[in-house]
């Protein structure tokens, strides 16, 4: 089993702590069937230069999923030249993710060297790298057509209302507590701020789909037209079968299939991971 | 934030998406830092094949990094260790610590603070 990235440095007062859904993501990406599919899509057929894949985790939180893919890219994608990029509306999540990815790549690299010369061919092999995490709303600052692998573990819980997303700093607004560091805040203001950020990690509005719908809308534009692929987690209240049908209805060769699930409860798959790609 | 990141970013304002002037974003008042990264020539070659070279060239010029060829290198040129080392330094070792990124189309400014760029928009632009 591939190691789970270390997230001991992540402050979980405003950031989603890796949970069952995150681990389903790791298990799915590293499963034999999924990594075989990814390798066939991303392995270069000849020794000549082949474009490095850009992997982007949207709403990265702790960054555990992106770190896992990047650090284990040799196993999962058959190559070690992944460029990792992340977005999250919470700046603290961006800071945490940069550390999670960098640390996981570094640790993986040192263990692979310990494995000795059995991997002689890869002795001078490269290691994937973390480019950056940027504070942003989903894919909004990404240049169209650039993303090869998009990962999204959304806020999927159905809630009456979707929390208002943070906007750029406007000191006069009532949400100015968002700009203060936690040290300057009173206990109740810190509680308010932490609760707000945590609500963003799970509250999905109607059917738990409001944020996911916006992300799905952006997929055709943001993915690389030839080899782009997106992985999106859904829970049963999101009605995954209907979501997949809608994606297939986009036309232009779009496909959507369930490639991982958390097991069946009372005839329902509680959590699923859907792969979205174009043929 | 590694400089290569900018090759994958554009203005977050919806109406700027299709505009050629929105890419690349322009740096102002930048504070750069160098962080050692192991030199991996094959990785740099794979990066060269995937970047938007014109965007890269513009960014390099604006940062007074003059050694980038005007046309995307291929074939024999990719064997030049000096070129690969220059690009390695520019794209993977140079980090933006502080500064602003500006859209050439709408003029919106995105702040970079302590290495994290902020692409959240004010509510009237969302």
- Does residue A49 register a pLDDT over 50? yes
- Does residue A180 register a pLDDT over 60? no
Per the domain annotation, does B48 fall within a domain? Answer: yes
The per-residue pLDDT for A117 is: 47
Taking only residues 211 to 230 of chain A, the set having a beta carbon closer than 8 angstroms to any beta carbon of chain B reads 221
Give the pLDDT band (50/70/90) at residue A137: very high
- Does residue A264 register a pLDDT over 80? no
Instruction: At A138, list the tokens.
Output: 């989903």
B84 touches chain A (CB under 8 A): no
Could you write out the DSSP letters of every residue in chain A?
A: -PPPPP-TT--TTTSPPP-HHHHHHHHHHHSHHHHHHHHHHH--SSSS--PPPEEEEES-TT-HHHHHHHHTHHHHHS-S--EEEEEES-HHHHHHHHHHHHHHHHHHHHHHHHTGGGGGGGTT----EEEEEEE-STTTTBPTT-BSEEEE----B--SSPPPPP-S--TTSGGGGGTS-GGGS-HHHHHHHHHHHHHHHHB--GGG-HHHHHHHHHHHHHB-TTT-EEEEEEEGGG-HHHHHHHHHTT-TTEEEEEEEE--EETTEESEEEEEEEE-
Option in A81, A135, A165 nearest B117 (CB):
A135
Check CB contact under 8 Å for A144 and B10: yes
Mean pLDDT of A186-202: 92
The better pLDDT of the pair B63, A115 is held by B63
Per-chain mean pLDDT for chain A: 89
Check CB contact under 8 Å for B119 and A140: yes
The per-residue pLDDT for B11 is: 98
The per-residue pLDDT for B73 is: 93
Taking only residues 159 to 198 of chain A, the set having a beta carbon closer than 8 angstroms to any beta carbon of chain B reads 165-168, 170
Identify the segments of chain B with pLDDT beneath 50.
none
B72 touches chain A (CB under 8 A): no
Domains for chain A: give ranges and CATH numbers: 20-42+50-112+125-164+176-278 (3.40.50.150)
Mean pLDDT of A193-211: 95
A11 touches chain B (CB under 8 A): no
B23 touches chain A (CB under 8 A): yes
Taking only residues 70 to 129 of chain A, the set having a beta carbon closer than 8 angstroms to any beta carbon of chain B reads 80-81, 83, 85, 87, 89, 91, 94-95, 98, 124, 126-127, 129
- Does residue A123 register a pLDDT over 60? no
The per-residue pLDDT for range B63-95, each reduced to its tens digit, is 998 789 999 998 899 999 999 999 999 999 999
Q: What residue of B is the nearest CA neighbor of A222?
A: B8
Per the domain annotation, does B40 fall within a domain? Answer: yes
The DSSP 8-state label assigned to residue B30 in this structure reads: E
- Does residue A114 register a pLDDT over 80? no
The per-residue pLDDT for A43 is: 87
Give the pLDDT band (50/70/90) at residue A169: low
Per the domain annotation, does B126 fall within a domain? Answer: no
Contacts of B67 (CB under 8 A, 6+ apart): B60, B86
Lowest mean pLDDT among A27-31, A41-45, A109-113, B54-58: A109-113
Give the whole-angstrom CA distance, residue B98 versus residue A168.
17
Mean pLDDT of A97-122: 73
Check CB contact under 8 Å for B9 and A167: no
The per-residue pLDDT for A118 is: 46
- Does residue A153 register a pLDDT over 70? yes
For residue B63, give how far its alpha carbon lies from the nearest alpha carbon of chain A (Å): 18
The whole domain housing B36 covers: 3-120
The per-residue pLDDT for A179 is: 54
Q: Write the ipTM.
A: 0.97
- Structural domain count of chain B: 1
Give the pLDDT band (50/70/90) at residue A92: very high
CATH of the domain at B64: 2.20.25.10
The DSSP 8-state label assigned to residue B115 in this structure reads: T
| Threshold 0.90, pTM exceeds | yes
Identify whether the C-beta of residue A55 lies closer than 8 Å to the C-beta of residue A84. Answer: yes
The better pLDDT of the pair A108, B47 is held by B47
């Amino acid at each position: 089993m591939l190691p789970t990235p270390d997230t001991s440095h992540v402050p979980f007062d405003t950031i989603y702590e890796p949970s069952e859904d995150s681990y389903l993501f790791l298990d799915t990406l590293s499963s034999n069937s999924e990594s075989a599919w990814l390798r066939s899509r991303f392995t270069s057929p000849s020794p000549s230069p082949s474009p490095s894949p850009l992997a982007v985790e949207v709403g990265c939180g702790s960054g555990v999923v992106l770190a896992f893919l990047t650090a284990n890219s040799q196993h999962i994608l058959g190559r070690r030249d992944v460029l990792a990029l992340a977005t999250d509306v919470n700046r603290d999540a961006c800071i945490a993710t940069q550390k999670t990815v960098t640390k996981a790549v570094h640790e993986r690299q040192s263990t692979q060297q310990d494995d000795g010369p059995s991997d002689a061919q890869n002795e001078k092999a490269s290691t994937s790298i973390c480019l950056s995490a940027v504070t942003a709303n989903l894919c909004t600052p990404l240049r169209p057509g650039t993303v090869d692998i998009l990962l999204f573990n959304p806020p999927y819980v159905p809630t009456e209302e979707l929390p208002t997303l943070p906007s750029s700093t406007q000191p006069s607004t009532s949400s100015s507590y968002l700009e203060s560091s936690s040290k300057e805040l009173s206990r109740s203001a810190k509680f308010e701020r932490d609760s707000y950020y945590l609500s963003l990690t799970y509250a999905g509005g109607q059917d738990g789909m409001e944020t996911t719908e916006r992300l799905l809308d952006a997929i055709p534009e943001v993915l690389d037209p030839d080899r782009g692929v997106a992985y999106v987690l859904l829970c049963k209240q999101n009605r995954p079968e209907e979501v997949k049908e809608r994606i297939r209805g986009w036309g232009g060769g779009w496909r959507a299939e369930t490639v991982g699930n958390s097991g069946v409860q009372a005839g329902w798959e509680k959590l699923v991971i859907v792969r979205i790609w174009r043929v | 934030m590694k400089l290569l990141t900018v090759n994958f970013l554009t203005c977050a304002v919806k109406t700027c998406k299709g505009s050629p002037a929105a890419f690349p974003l322009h740096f102002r008042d930048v504070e750069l830092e160098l962080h050692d990264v192991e030199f991996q020539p094959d990785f740099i070659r794979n990066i060269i094949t995937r970047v938007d070279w014109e965007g890269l060239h513009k960014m390099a010029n604006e940062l007074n990094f003059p050694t980038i060829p005007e046309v995307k290198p291929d074939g024999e040129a990719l064997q030049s260790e000096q070129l690969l080392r220059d690009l390695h330094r520019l794209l993977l070792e140079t980090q933006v610590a502080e500064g602003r990124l500006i859209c050439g189309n709408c003029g919106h400014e995105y702040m970079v603070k302590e290495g994290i760029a902020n692409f959240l928009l004010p509510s009237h632009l969302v």
